[in-house]
């Protein structure tokens, strides 16, 4: 058994991790560096990484976060303008392995159209990349493959565009809301990964649930509607007994003030005046002034006793047809 084979067995449950762990690289850094130093000069490493153990180790750690084994990562990782990226084939493979869907709609030498949708979704998202875009961006002149292999280049750019639109968690190594492993290992690999992830990630999720369960039994207080206040406010416009004798200001009659008339008394007075044929404001004021023996400019000027006197006078008055111009006939 070679040292490379022993490395593979030792990290079988660590390099392909089903649970996101931002610190998981710490305990594999030394073995990864040892592996990178041994294979950096071989033909199994792409020429961009060949002879560069540090770059090889970085690529392996990069692929590990995506759920890819070391050699597969090296084969499908490229550095474009100083940024590592996966090949289009690897991106589509990760998306399909995660249960999502990708379909080709049109592939020609001038345009590539694709569509994709996430697992469980009914909505398809379309993406395309054309040769005109490649020319406008300058990629056509920088990369000769657009002339010799136009379809492959358009597919690669279209794949990258679609994945960045709806599958960034898969191709970018981000954890999704539901932690579904992209690569399923055997029982031994799963058992090896459990001690590093289960104890750390399950405890924070349970604690909020307990606190929430304690808070749920306390119902929110329900605001009770305030009862209508009929004892102090005058009738509104359109209601029987609406104030017509004076201005429109509200009557405030505190219970402790026995001199002010109540709302019911004013309502009865208005009704009696209307029944007596005194519908004009001036006639009503003149009638009340004659009864109380002083000038009345508003019903708010009357006291309870004066309102009672007006009501008594109206009840003893003759019928409406005996009233002429608001004056009682002797």
Per-residue pLDDT band at 233 (split at 50, 70, 90)? low
Quick check: is 196 in a domain?
no
Q: Do 77 and 94 sit in the same domain of this protein?
A: no
Q: Which of 269, 256, 278 is nearest to 301 (CA)?
A: 269
Per-residue pLDDT band at 302 (split at 50, 70, 90)? confident
pLDDT at 263 over 90: no
Encoding tokens for residue 42?
Answer: 């071989």
The confidence score (pLDDT) of residue 82 equals: 81
SS3 (DSSP) at 116: strand
Q: Do 252 and 326 sit in the same domain of this protein?
A: yes
End position of a domain, from candidates 143, 174, 205: 174
The confidence score (pLDDT) of residue 80 equals: 81
The confidence score (pLDDT) of residue 257 equals: 64
Q: Do 330 and 237 sit in the same domain of this protein?
A: yes
Q: Do 67 and 146 sit in the same domain of this protein?
A: no
Number of domains in the chain: 3
Quick check: is 16 in a domain?
yes
Q: Do 266 and 304 sit in the same domain of this protein?
A: yes
Encoding tokens for residue 88?
Answer: 């289009």
The confidence score (pLDDT) of residue 188 equals: 40
Q: Do 76 and 97 sit in the same domain of this protein?
A: no
Q: What is the pLDDT of residues 56-113, one digit of tens each?
A: 998 898 888 888 999 998 889 888 878 888 999 999 999 999 999 999 999 999 999 9
SS (H, E, C) 145-213: HHHHCHHHHHHHHHHHHHHHHHCHHHHCCCCCCCCCCCCCCCHHHHHHHHHHHHHHHHHHHHHHHHHHH
End position of a domain, from candidates 140, 155, 174: 174
Quick check: is 76 in a domain?
yes
The confidence score (pLDDT) of residue 226 equals: 60
Query: Where is pLDDT greater, at 239 or 165?
Result: 165
SS (H, E, C) 208-237: HHHHHHHHCCCCCCCCCCCCCCCCCCCCCC
Q: Do 57 and 111 sit in the same domain of this protein?
A: no
pLDDT at 45 over 60: yes
Measured distance CA(110)–CA(122) in Å, rounded: 29
Quick check: is 180 in a domain?
no
| Interacting residues of 181 by C-beta distance below 8 A, sequence separation 6+ | 18, 19, 67
Average pLDDT on 12-20 reads 47
pTM above 0.75, yes or no: no
Q: Do 330 and 263 sit in the same domain of this protein?
A: yes
Residue 307's domain comprises: 231-330
Quick check: is 184 in a domain?
no
SS3 (DSSP) at 18: coil
Number of helices (H), then strands (E), in the chain: 15, 7
Q: Where are the alpha helices (DSSP H) in the chain?
A: 3-10, 12-15, 29-39, 53-66, 70-76, 88-97, 131-137, 139-142, 145-148, 150-166, 168-171, 187-215, 263-275, 281-292, 304-316
The confidence score (pLDDT) of residue 270 equals: 79
Query: Where is pLDDT greater, at 198 or 106?
Result: 106
Quick check: is 219 in a domain?
no
The confidence score (pLDDT) of residue 253 equals: 45
Q: Do 300 and 263 sit in the same domain of this protein?
A: yes
Per-residue pLDDT band at 12 (split at 50, 70, 90)? very low
Encoding tokens for residue 217?
Answer: 């039994």
The confidence score (pLDDT) of residue 99 equals: 95
What percent of the chain clears pLDDT 70, i.e. is strictly above it?
A: 64
Average pLDDT, the chain: 74
Q: Which of 86, 82, 110, 108 is nearest to 159 (CA)?
A: 86
Per-residue pLDDT band at 13 (split at 50, 70, 90)? very low
The confidence score (pLDDT) of residue 293 equals: 82
Sort 34 into a burial class: Cβ within 10 Å, 0-12 / 13-18 / 19+: middle
Quick check: is 201 in a domain?
no
End position of a domain, from candidates 83, 98, 127: 83
Query: Which of 45-54, 182-191, 235-244 has the highest mean predicted lDDT (pLDDT)?
Result: 45-54
Q: Which phi and psi (to 5°) does residue 105 adopt? A: -100, -35
pLDDT at 231 over 70: no
Q: Do 54 and 134 sit in the same domain of this protein?
A: no
Q: Do 38 and 91 sit in the same domain of this protein?
A: no
Encoding tokens for residue 185?
Answer: 């290992």
Quick check: is 30 in a domain?
yes
Per-residue pLDDT band at 250 (split at 50, 70, 90)? very low
63 neighbors 69 (Cβ within 8 angstroms): yes
């Amino acid at each position: 058994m070679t040292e490379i084979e022993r490395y593979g067995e030792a990290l079988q449950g660590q390099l392909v991790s089903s649970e996101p762990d931002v610190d998981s690289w710490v305990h594999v850094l030394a073995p990864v560096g040892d592996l990178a130093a041994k294979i950096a000069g071989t033909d199994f490493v792409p020429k961009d990484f060949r002879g560069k153990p540090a770059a090889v180790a970085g690529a392996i750690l990069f692929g590990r976060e995506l759920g890819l084994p070391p050699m597969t990562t090296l084969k499908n990782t490229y550095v474009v303008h100083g940024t590592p990226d996966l090949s289009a084939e690897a991106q589509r493979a990760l998306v399909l392995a995660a249960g999502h869907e990708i379909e080709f709609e049109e592939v020609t030498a001038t345009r590539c159209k694709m569509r994709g949708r996430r697992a469980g979704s009914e909505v398809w998202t379309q993406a395309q990349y054309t040769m005109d875009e490649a020319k406008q961006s300058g990629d056509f002149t920088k990369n000769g493959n657009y002339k010799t292999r136009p379809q492959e280049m358009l597919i690669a750019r279209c794949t990258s565009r679609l994945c960045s639109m709806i599958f960034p968690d898969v191709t970018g190594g981000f954890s999704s809301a539901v932690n579904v492993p992209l690569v399923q290992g055997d029982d031994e690999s799963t058992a090896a990964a459990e001690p590093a992830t289960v104890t750390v990630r399950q405890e924070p999720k349970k604690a909020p649930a307990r606190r929430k369960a304690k808070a749920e039994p306390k119902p929110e207080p329900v605001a009770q509607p305030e009862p209508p206040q009929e004892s102090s406010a005058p009738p509104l416009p359109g209601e029987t007994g609406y104030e017509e004798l004076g201005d429109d200001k509200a009557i405030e009659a505190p219970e402790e003030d026995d001199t002010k008339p109540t709302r019911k008394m004013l309502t009865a007075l208005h009704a009696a005046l209307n029944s007596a044929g005194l519908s004009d404001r001036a006639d009503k004021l003149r009638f009340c002034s004659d009864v109380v023996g002083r000038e009345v400019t508003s019903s708010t000027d009357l006291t309870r006793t004066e309102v009672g006197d007006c009501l008594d006078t109206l009840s003893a008055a003759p019928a409406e047809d005996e009233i002429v111009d608001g004056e009682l006939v002797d």
